[in-house]
Protein backbone atom coordinates (compact mmCIF):
# COMPACT_ATOMS: atom_id res chain seq x y z
CA UNK A 1 0.00 0.00 0.00
CA UNK A 2 1.08 3.56 -0.48
CA UNK A 3 2.04 5.36 2.71
CA UNK A 4 0.76 8.90 2.55
CA UNK A 5 1.49 11.46 5.25
CA UNK A 6 -1.36 12.77 7.40
CA UNK A 7 -2.55 16.07 5.89
CA UNK A 8 -2.24 19.27 7.87
CA UNK A 9 -5.38 20.78 9.36
CA UNK A 10 -7.18 22.99 6.86
CA UNK A 11 -10.34 25.04 6.62
CA UNK A 12 -13.36 22.92 5.59
CA UNK A 13 -14.15 23.39 1.93
CA UNK A 14 -10.60 24.38 1.02
CA UNK A 15 -9.14 22.13 -1.66
CA UNK A 16 -6.16 20.14 -0.50
CA UNK A 17 -3.03 20.80 -2.54
CA UNK A 18 -0.28 18.15 -2.37
CA UNK A 19 2.76 19.53 -0.56
CA UNK A 20 5.14 18.31 -3.26
CA UNK A 21 3.19 18.00 -6.50
CA UNK A 22 6.31 17.31 -8.53
CA UNK A 23 6.87 14.17 -6.45
CA UNK A 24 3.22 13.16 -6.71
CA UNK A 25 3.43 13.21 -10.48
CA UNK A 26 6.60 11.14 -10.41
CA UNK A 27 4.93 8.54 -8.21
CA UNK A 28 7.34 8.74 -5.26
CA UNK A 29 5.32 6.72 -2.78
CA UNK A 30 6.20 4.28 -0.03
CA UNK A 31 4.75 0.83 -0.54
CA UNK A 32 3.67 -1.71 2.05
CA UNK A 33 4.51 -5.32 2.69
CA UNK A 34 8.23 -5.30 1.90
CA UNK A 35 7.48 -5.68 -1.81
CA UNK A 36 9.39 -3.56 -4.33
CA UNK A 37 7.72 -0.59 -5.97
CA UNK A 38 6.83 -2.05 -9.35
CA UNK A 39 4.86 0.97 -10.51
CA UNK A 40 6.56 3.21 -13.02
CA UNK A 41 5.35 6.31 -14.80
CA UNK A 42 5.33 7.28 -18.42
CA UNK A 43 6.70 10.62 -19.54
CA UNK A 44 3.99 13.08 -20.47
CA UNK A 45 0.35 13.15 -19.50
CA UNK A 46 -2.32 10.82 -20.89
CA UNK A 47 -5.72 12.01 -22.06
CA UNK A 48 -7.33 10.72 -18.87
CA UNK A 49 -4.68 12.29 -16.65
CA UNK A 50 -5.11 15.60 -18.46
CA UNK A 51 -8.84 15.47 -17.82
CA UNK A 52 -8.26 14.49 -14.22
CA UNK A 53 -5.94 17.42 -13.50
CA UNK A 54 -8.07 20.22 -14.92
CA UNK A 55 -9.27 22.71 -12.31
CA UNK A 56 -13.02 22.78 -11.63
CA UNK A 57 -15.17 25.85 -11.85
CA UNK A 58 -16.98 27.27 -8.81
CA UNK A 59 -20.39 26.07 -7.65
CA UNK A 60 -23.05 28.46 -6.31
CA UNK A 61 -25.93 27.08 -4.26
CA UNK A 62 -29.11 29.16 -3.85
CA UNK A 63 -30.76 29.58 -0.45
CA UNK A 64 -33.59 31.67 0.95
CA UNK A 65 -32.51 35.27 1.25
CA UNK A 66 -29.20 34.87 -0.57
CA UNK A 67 -26.59 32.56 -2.02
CA UNK A 68 -24.25 30.25 -0.16
CA UNK A 69 -21.61 27.85 -1.33
CA UNK A 70 -18.09 27.82 -2.67
CA UNK A 71 -16.69 30.91 -4.32
CA UNK A 72 -15.75 30.51 -7.94
CA UNK A 73 -12.04 30.05 -8.50
CA UNK A 74 -10.02 30.26 -11.70
CA UNK A 75 -9.36 27.03 -13.57
CA UNK A 76 -5.86 25.83 -12.86
CA UNK A 77 -3.92 22.61 -13.30
CA UNK A 78 -3.79 20.69 -10.03
CA UNK A 79 -1.67 17.55 -10.14
CA UNK A 80 -3.04 14.15 -9.30
CA UNK A 81 -2.12 12.79 -5.92
CA UNK A 82 0.26 9.86 -5.92
CA UNK A 83 -2.68 7.53 -5.25
CA UNK A 84 -4.16 8.26 -8.66
CA UNK A 85 -0.88 8.64 -10.53
CA UNK A 86 0.61 5.28 -9.54
CA UNK A 87 1.04 3.16 -12.66
CA UNK A 88 2.05 -0.49 -13.00
CA UNK A 89 3.53 -1.59 -16.31
CA UNK A 90 1.64 -4.24 -18.28
CA UNK A 91 4.71 -5.74 -19.97
CA UNK A 92 7.32 -7.52 -17.87
CA UNK A 93 8.85 -10.80 -16.80
CA UNK A 94 5.86 -11.64 -14.63
CA UNK A 95 2.25 -10.61 -15.05
CA UNK A 96 1.12 -7.62 -12.97
CA UNK A 97 -1.01 -8.27 -9.91
CA UNK A 98 1.36 -10.73 -8.22
CA UNK A 99 4.24 -8.71 -6.76
CA UNK A 100 2.45 -5.40 -6.28
CA UNK A 101 1.23 -4.36 -2.80
CA UNK A 102 -2.38 -5.06 -1.83
CA UNK A 103 -4.84 -2.79 -3.62
CA UNK A 104 -7.90 -1.14 -2.11
CA UNK A 105 -10.39 -2.70 -4.52
CA UNK A 106 -10.45 -5.99 -6.39
CA UNK A 107 -12.57 -8.10 -8.71
CA UNK A 108 -12.04 -11.73 -9.68
CA UNK A 109 -14.01 -13.21 -12.52
CA UNK A 110 -14.02 -16.56 -14.34
CA UNK A 111 -15.20 -17.15 -17.90
CA UNK A 112 -16.16 -20.24 -19.86
CA UNK A 113 -15.64 -20.37 -23.61
CA UNK A 114 -18.94 -20.44 -25.46
CA UNK A 115 -20.12 -23.38 -27.56
CA UNK A 116 -18.10 -23.51 -30.76
CA UNK A 117 -15.30 -21.29 -29.47
CA UNK A 118 -11.89 -22.95 -29.56
CA UNK A 119 -8.20 -22.16 -29.80
CA UNK A 120 -8.59 -19.52 -32.54
CA UNK A 121 -11.29 -17.63 -30.66
CA UNK A 122 -9.35 -17.90 -27.38
CA UNK A 123 -6.25 -16.43 -29.02
CA UNK A 124 -8.24 -13.50 -30.40
CA UNK A 125 -9.82 -12.94 -26.98
CA UNK A 126 -6.49 -12.92 -25.13
CA UNK A 127 -5.16 -10.50 -27.73
CA UNK A 128 -8.11 -8.14 -27.09
CA UNK A 129 -7.82 -8.51 -23.35
CA UNK A 130 -4.09 -7.81 -23.37
CA UNK A 131 -4.53 -4.67 -25.46
CA UNK A 132 -7.28 -3.43 -23.16
CA UNK A 133 -5.25 -4.20 -20.05
CA UNK A 134 -2.24 -2.32 -21.42
CA UNK A 135 -4.33 0.75 -22.22
CA UNK A 136 -6.28 0.86 -18.97
CA UNK A 137 -3.20 0.26 -16.81
CA UNK A 138 -1.60 3.28 -18.52
CA UNK A 139 -4.60 5.43 -17.58
CA UNK A 140 -5.97 5.51 -21.11
CA UNK A 141 -9.48 4.79 -22.34
CA UNK A 142 -10.46 1.43 -23.79
CA UNK A 143 -9.99 1.26 -27.53
CA UNK A 144 -13.68 0.73 -28.29
CA UNK A 145 -16.89 1.68 -26.50
CA UNK A 146 -15.22 3.08 -23.39
CA UNK A 147 -17.82 3.66 -20.68
CA UNK A 148 -16.08 6.78 -19.25
CA UNK A 149 -16.49 5.43 -15.71
CA UNK A 150 -12.82 6.20 -14.97
CA UNK A 151 -12.50 9.26 -17.21
CA UNK A 152 -11.39 11.62 -14.42
CA UNK A 153 -8.95 9.25 -12.71
CA UNK A 154 -5.37 8.22 -13.20
CA UNK A 155 -4.28 4.57 -13.39
CA UNK A 156 -4.55 4.19 -9.58
CA UNK A 157 -2.13 1.22 -9.59
CA UNK A 158 -4.51 -0.83 -11.76
CA UNK A 159 -3.40 -4.39 -12.50
CA UNK A 160 -5.11 -6.99 -14.70
CA UNK A 161 -3.95 -10.61 -14.56
CA UNK A 162 -4.99 -13.57 -16.75
CA UNK A 163 -4.97 -17.31 -16.11
CA UNK A 164 -6.13 -20.63 -17.56
CA UNK A 165 -8.22 -23.26 -15.79
CA UNK A 166 -7.99 -27.04 -16.15
CA UNK A 167 -11.00 -27.20 -18.51
CA UNK A 168 -9.52 -24.63 -20.92
CA UNK A 169 -7.12 -27.10 -22.47
CA UNK A 170 -9.72 -29.66 -23.53
CA UNK A 171 -11.90 -26.87 -24.94
CA UNK A 172 -9.04 -25.65 -27.14
CA UNK A 173 -7.45 -28.97 -28.12
CA UNK A 174 -4.34 -28.19 -26.07
CA UNK A 175 -4.48 -31.10 -23.62
CA UNK A 176 -0.83 -31.97 -24.23
CA UNK A 177 0.13 -28.49 -23.03
CA UNK A 178 -1.84 -28.73 -19.79
CA UNK A 179 0.52 -28.61 -16.79
CA UNK A 180 0.49 -31.51 -14.33
CA UNK A 181 0.38 -28.90 -11.57
CA UNK A 182 -3.09 -27.90 -12.81
CA UNK A 183 -4.64 -31.21 -11.74
CA UNK A 184 -7.79 -30.56 -9.66
CA UNK A 185 -7.29 -29.77 -5.99
CA UNK A 186 -8.17 -32.57 -3.55
CA UNK A 187 -11.24 -32.41 -1.34
CA UNK A 188 -10.83 -30.95 2.15
CA UNK A 189 -13.04 -31.50 5.19
CA UNK A 190 -13.84 -27.77 5.51
CA UNK A 191 -15.07 -27.57 1.90
CA UNK A 192 -18.70 -26.76 1.18
CA UNK A 193 -18.03 -25.74 -2.40
CA UNK A 194 -20.54 -24.26 -4.80
CA UNK A 195 -19.54 -25.69 -8.18
CA UNK A 196 -21.23 -22.84 -10.01
CA UNK A 197 -18.83 -20.42 -8.33
CA UNK A 198 -15.71 -22.55 -8.74
CA UNK A 199 -13.11 -23.15 -11.47
CA UNK A 200 -13.67 -21.96 -15.07
CA UNK A 201 -11.87 -21.96 -18.44
CA UNK A 202 -10.35 -18.50 -17.99
CA UNK A 203 -9.67 -16.37 -14.93
CA UNK A 204 -9.10 -12.62 -14.59
CA UNK A 205 -7.92 -10.77 -11.49
CA UNK A 206 -8.39 -7.00 -11.34
CA UNK A 207 -7.01 -4.73 -8.63
CA UNK A 208 -6.78 -0.95 -8.22
CA UNK A 209 -6.60 1.70 -5.53
CA UNK A 210 -9.79 3.35 -6.80
CA UNK A 211 -13.14 1.55 -6.92
CA UNK A 212 -14.30 3.23 -10.15
CA UNK A 213 -11.02 2.41 -11.92
CA UNK A 214 -11.39 -1.24 -10.88
CA UNK A 215 -15.03 -1.44 -11.98
CA UNK A 216 -14.21 0.26 -15.28
CA UNK A 217 -11.63 -2.46 -15.98
CA UNK A 218 -14.06 -5.22 -15.03
CA UNK A 219 -16.69 -3.85 -17.40
CA UNK A 220 -14.18 -3.46 -20.23
CA UNK A 221 -12.94 -7.05 -19.81
CA UNK A 222 -16.51 -8.37 -19.80
CA UNK A 223 -17.41 -6.43 -22.95
CA UNK A 224 -14.25 -7.62 -24.70
CA UNK A 225 -15.31 -11.24 -24.13
CA UNK A 226 -18.00 -10.70 -26.79
CA UNK A 227 -19.30 -13.95 -28.23
CA UNK A 228 -16.18 -15.94 -27.34
CA UNK A 229 -16.75 -16.37 -23.61
CA UNK A 230 -19.39 -15.84 -20.96
CA UNK A 231 -19.05 -15.08 -17.25
CA UNK A 232 -19.11 -18.19 -15.07
CA UNK A 233 -18.79 -16.38 -11.74
CA UNK A 234 -17.60 -13.02 -10.43
CA UNK A 235 -16.64 -11.78 -6.94
CA UNK A 236 -15.76 -8.39 -5.47
CA UNK A 237 -13.26 -7.58 -2.74
CA UNK A 238 -11.59 -4.76 -0.88
CA UNK A 239 -8.66 -3.91 1.37
CA UNK A 240 -7.67 -0.95 3.50
CA UNK A 241 -7.04 2.15 1.38
CA UNK A 242 -3.42 3.26 0.96
CA UNK A 243 -2.58 5.99 3.45
CA UNK A 244 -5.31 5.02 5.92
CA UNK A 245 -2.67 4.19 8.56
CA UNK A 246 0.05 6.48 9.84
CA UNK A 247 2.73 4.12 8.53
CA UNK A 248 2.84 0.94 6.39
CA UNK A 249 1.28 -2.01 8.18
CA UNK A 250 0.29 -5.60 7.48
CA UNK A 251 -3.36 -5.63 6.42
CA UNK A 252 -6.11 -6.83 8.72
CA UNK A 253 -8.89 -9.20 7.71
CA UNK A 254 -12.54 -9.01 8.77
CA UNK A 255 -11.76 -10.92 11.96
CA UNK A 256 -9.56 -8.00 12.95
CA UNK A 257 -6.40 -10.10 12.70
CA UNK A 258 -3.26 -9.08 10.83
CA UNK A 259 -3.13 -11.26 7.73
CA UNK A 260 0.11 -11.77 5.81
CA UNK A 261 2.78 -11.38 8.50
CA UNK A 262 4.94 -14.27 7.27
CA UNK A 263 4.43 -13.68 3.56
CA UNK A 264 7.60 -14.55 1.62
CA UNK A 265 9.48 -11.50 0.32
CA UNK A 266 11.31 -10.95 -2.97
CA UNK A 267 14.45 -10.39 -0.92
CA UNK A 268 14.32 -14.01 0.32
CA UNK A 269 17.01 -16.13 -1.35
CA UNK A 270 14.48 -18.79 -2.42
CA UNK A 271 11.57 -16.46 -3.26
CA UNK A 272 11.60 -17.01 -7.04
CA UNK A 273 11.84 -20.79 -6.81
CA UNK A 274 8.90 -20.90 -4.41
CA UNK A 275 6.62 -18.49 -6.28
CA UNK A 276 7.52 -18.63 -10.01
CA UNK A 277 8.01 -21.44 -12.52
CA UNK A 278 11.66 -21.51 -13.67
CA UNK A 279 12.51 -21.16 -17.35
CA UNK A 280 14.09 -24.62 -17.45
CA UNK A 281 11.42 -26.52 -15.53
CA UNK A 282 11.41 -30.30 -15.91
CA UNK A 283 7.83 -30.45 -14.67
CA UNK A 284 6.05 -27.54 -16.37
CA UNK A 285 5.60 -26.80 -20.09
CA UNK A 286 7.81 -24.08 -21.61
CA UNK A 287 4.91 -21.61 -21.98
CA UNK A 288 4.63 -21.42 -18.15
CA UNK A 289 8.17 -20.02 -17.71
CA UNK A 290 8.17 -17.12 -15.22
CA UNK A 291 4.50 -17.81 -14.49
CA UNK A 292 2.81 -18.94 -11.29
CA UNK A 293 -0.20 -20.91 -10.08
CA UNK A 294 -3.05 -19.07 -8.39
CA UNK A 295 -5.31 -20.80 -5.89
CA UNK A 296 -8.53 -18.84 -5.37
CA UNK A 297 -10.84 -19.66 -2.46
CA UNK A 298 -13.95 -17.86 -1.23
CA UNK A 299 -13.69 -18.39 2.52
CA UNK A 300 -16.70 -17.31 4.52
CA UNK A 301 -15.94 -16.13 8.05
CA UNK A 302 -18.54 -17.06 10.66
CA UNK A 303 -18.20 -13.67 12.27
CA UNK A 304 -21.09 -13.98 14.74
CA UNK A 305 -19.44 -17.06 16.26
CA UNK A 306 -15.96 -15.52 16.13
CA UNK A 307 -17.03 -12.32 17.84
CA UNK A 308 -18.48 -14.30 20.76
CA UNK A 309 -14.91 -15.22 21.74
CA UNK A 310 -12.91 -13.08 24.11
CA UNK A 311 -9.79 -11.40 22.70
CA UNK A 312 -7.67 -13.93 24.61
CA UNK A 313 -9.60 -16.83 23.04
CA UNK A 314 -9.23 -15.30 19.57
CA UNK A 315 -5.49 -14.90 20.13
CA UNK A 316 -5.16 -18.55 21.17
CA UNK A 317 -6.93 -19.61 17.97
CA UNK A 318 -4.53 -17.60 15.82
CA UNK A 319 -1.36 -17.80 17.92
CA UNK A 320 -0.69 -14.06 17.72
CA UNK A 321 -1.72 -10.96 19.61
CA UNK A 322 -4.61 -9.18 17.94
CA UNK A 323 -3.31 -5.70 18.73
CA UNK A 324 0.02 -5.86 16.91
CA UNK A 325 0.37 -9.31 15.34
CA UNK A 326 3.22 -10.34 17.64
CA UNK A 327 3.48 -14.07 18.43
CA UNK A 328 2.10 -15.15 21.79
CA UNK A 329 5.63 -16.27 22.67
CA UNK A 330 6.71 -12.61 22.76
CA UNK A 331 8.44 -9.92 20.72
CA UNK A 332 7.10 -7.93 17.79
CA UNK A 333 5.17 -8.93 14.68
CA UNK A 334 8.34 -10.05 12.89
CA UNK A 335 9.85 -11.93 15.86
CA UNK A 336 10.38 -15.63 15.21
CA UNK A 337 7.70 -17.64 17.03
CA UNK A 338 9.02 -19.81 19.88
CA UNK A 339 6.99 -22.99 19.51
CA UNK A 340 8.50 -24.61 22.62
CA UNK A 341 7.87 -21.78 25.10
CA UNK A 342 5.62 -22.67 28.04
CA UNK A 343 3.85 -20.68 30.74
CA UNK A 344 4.24 -21.12 34.51
CA UNK A 345 1.85 -24.06 34.46
CA UNK A 346 3.91 -25.81 31.80
CA UNK A 347 1.40 -25.25 28.98
CA UNK A 348 2.55 -24.22 25.53
CA UNK A 349 2.17 -20.47 25.07
CA UNK A 350 1.31 -21.02 21.39
CA UNK A 351 -1.34 -23.79 21.39
CA UNK A 352 -0.71 -26.90 19.30
CA UNK A 353 -3.72 -26.15 17.11
CA UNK A 354 -3.03 -22.42 16.70
CA UNK A 355 -3.37 -21.32 13.08
CA UNK A 356 -0.01 -19.54 13.01
CA UNK A 357 1.81 -22.62 14.33
CA UNK A 358 0.26 -24.99 11.79
CA UNK A 359 0.89 -22.74 8.77
CA UNK A 360 4.58 -22.08 9.46
CA UNK A 361 6.76 -23.21 6.52
CA UNK A 362 9.11 -25.10 8.88
CA UNK A 363 6.09 -27.11 10.03
CA UNK A 364 5.18 -27.99 6.43
CA UNK A 365 8.41 -29.08 4.79
CA UNK A 366 9.25 -25.54 3.73
CA UNK A 367 5.95 -25.07 1.86
CA UNK A 368 5.32 -21.40 1.18
CA UNK A 369 2.90 -19.31 -0.85
CA UNK A 370 2.52 -15.60 -1.53
CA UNK A 371 -0.87 -14.58 -0.14
CA UNK A 372 -2.53 -11.61 -1.84
CA UNK A 373 -6.17 -11.66 -0.72
CA UNK A 374 -9.16 -9.32 -0.66
CA UNK A 375 -11.87 -9.17 2.00
CA UNK A 376 -15.46 -9.38 0.81
CA UNK A 377 -18.93 -8.54 2.12
CA UNK A 378 -21.93 -9.63 0.07
CA UNK A 379 -24.71 -8.39 2.32
CA UNK A 380 -26.63 -9.81 5.26
CA UNK A 381 -28.85 -12.86 4.95
CA UNK A 382 -32.41 -13.31 6.20
CA UNK A 383 -31.14 -14.43 9.63
CA UNK A 384 -29.08 -11.27 10.04
CA UNK A 385 -25.80 -13.08 9.46
CA UNK A 386 -23.19 -11.24 7.37
CA UNK A 387 -22.07 -12.99 4.19
CA UNK A 388 -18.48 -11.86 4.58
CA UNK A 389 -14.99 -13.24 4.61
CA UNK A 390 -11.86 -13.57 2.52
CA UNK A 391 -11.27 -13.91 -1.20
CA UNK A 392 -8.12 -15.91 -0.57
CA UNK A 393 -5.65 -15.73 -3.46
CA UNK A 394 -2.23 -17.29 -3.14
CA UNK A 395 0.64 -17.71 -5.59
CA UNK A 396 3.17 -20.54 -5.82
CA UNK A 397 5.39 -22.35 -8.30
CA UNK A 398 3.82 -25.68 -7.33
CA UNK A 399 0.32 -25.78 -5.77
CA UNK A 400 0.83 -29.35 -4.54
CA UNK A 401 3.85 -28.30 -2.48
CA UNK A 402 2.35 -24.92 -1.58
CA UNK A 403 -1.37 -24.61 -0.92
CA UNK A 404 -2.25 -28.32 -0.82
CA UNK A 405 0.47 -29.20 1.69
CA UNK A 406 -0.56 -26.44 4.09
CA UNK A 407 -4.32 -26.98 3.68
CA UNK A 408 -4.00 -30.69 4.41
CA UNK A 409 -2.21 -29.82 7.64
CA UNK A 410 -4.91 -27.28 8.54
CA UNK A 411 -7.56 -29.88 7.75
CA UNK A 412 -6.19 -32.12 10.50
CA UNK A 413 -6.64 -29.77 13.42
CA UNK A 414 -6.58 -26.01 12.84
CA UNK A 415 -8.40 -24.17 15.64
CA UNK A 416 -9.61 -21.61 13.09
CA UNK A 417 -11.49 -24.21 11.02
CA UNK A 418 -14.67 -24.02 13.13
CA UNK A 419 -14.97 -20.30 12.35
CA UNK A 420 -14.58 -20.45 8.56
CA UNK A 421 -16.17 -22.23 5.60
CA UNK A 422 -14.63 -22.71 2.14
CA UNK A 423 -17.49 -22.02 -0.29
CA UNK A 424 -15.80 -21.71 -3.70
CA UNK A 425 -12.49 -22.76 -5.20
CA UNK A 426 -10.36 -22.48 -8.31
CA UNK A 427 -6.87 -23.29 -9.53
CA UNK A 428 -5.40 -21.41 -12.49
CA UNK A 429 -2.17 -21.50 -14.48
CA UNK A 430 -0.97 -17.91 -14.88
CA UNK A 431 1.74 -17.64 -17.57
CA UNK A 432 4.64 -15.22 -17.40
CA UNK A 433 4.29 -11.62 -18.46
CA UNK A 434 3.91 -10.56 -22.09
CA UNK A 435 6.82 -8.86 -23.84
CA UNK A 436 6.36 -5.78 -26.04
CA UNK A 437 4.19 -6.70 -29.02
CA UNK A 438 3.01 -9.94 -27.40
CA UNK A 439 -0.27 -10.86 -25.71
CA UNK A 440 -0.63 -12.93 -22.54
CA UNK A 441 -0.74 -16.64 -23.36
CA UNK A 442 0.61 -16.23 -26.87
CA UNK A 443 3.35 -18.81 -26.32
CA UNK A 444 0.64 -21.34 -25.44
CA UNK A 445 -1.93 -20.46 -28.06
CA UNK A 446 0.48 -19.94 -30.97
CA UNK A 447 3.34 -22.20 -29.87
Q: C-alpha angle 345/350/356, rounded to 5°?
A: 175
| Cα–Cα distance for residue pair 57/145, rounded to 1 Å | 28
CA distances from 433 to 183, 291, 409 (A): 23, 7, 32
Distance, C-alpha 164 to centroid of its chain: 17
**pLDDT truncated to tens, each residue of the chain (447 aa)?**
443 333 333 333 333 333 433 333 333 333 333 343 334 444 344 444 444 443 333 333 333 333 333 344 455 656 666 889 999 999 999 999 999 999 999 999 999 999 999 999 999 999 999 999 999 999 999 998 999 999 999 999 999 999 999 999 999 999 999 999 999 999 998 899 999 999 999 999 999 999 999 999 999 999 999 999 999 999 999 999 998 999 989 999 999 999 999 899 999 999 999 999 999 888 999 999 999 999 999 999 999 999 999 999 999 999 999 999 999 999 999 999 999 999 999 999 999 999 999 998 888 888 889 999 999 999 999 999 999 999 999 999 999 999 999 999 999 999 999 999 999 999 999 999 999 999 999 999 998
Spatial CA neighbour of 86 closest among 125, 136, 46, 138: 138
Q: C-alpha angle 149/150/156, rounded to 5°?
A: 150
CA distances from 439 to 189, 309, 434 (A): 39, 50, 6
Count of Cβ atoms closer than 10 Å to residue 161 Cβ: 25
259, 316, 398, 414: the active-site residue: 259
259 flagged as catalytic: yes
Is the whole model's pTM more than 0.85, yes or no?
A: no
Amino acid sequence: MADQSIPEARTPGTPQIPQTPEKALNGETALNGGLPESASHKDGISRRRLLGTAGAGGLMLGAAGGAVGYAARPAEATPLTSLGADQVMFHGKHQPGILQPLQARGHVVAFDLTAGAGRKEAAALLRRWSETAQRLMAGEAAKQDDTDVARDAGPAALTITFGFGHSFFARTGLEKQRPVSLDPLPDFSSDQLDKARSNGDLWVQIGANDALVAFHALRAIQKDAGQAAKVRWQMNGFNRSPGATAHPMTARNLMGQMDGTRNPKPTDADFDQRIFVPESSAKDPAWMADGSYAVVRRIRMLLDDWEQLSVKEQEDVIGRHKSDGAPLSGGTETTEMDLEKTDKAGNLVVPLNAHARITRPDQNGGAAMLRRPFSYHDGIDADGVPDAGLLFICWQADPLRGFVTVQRKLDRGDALSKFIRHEASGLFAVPGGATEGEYVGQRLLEG
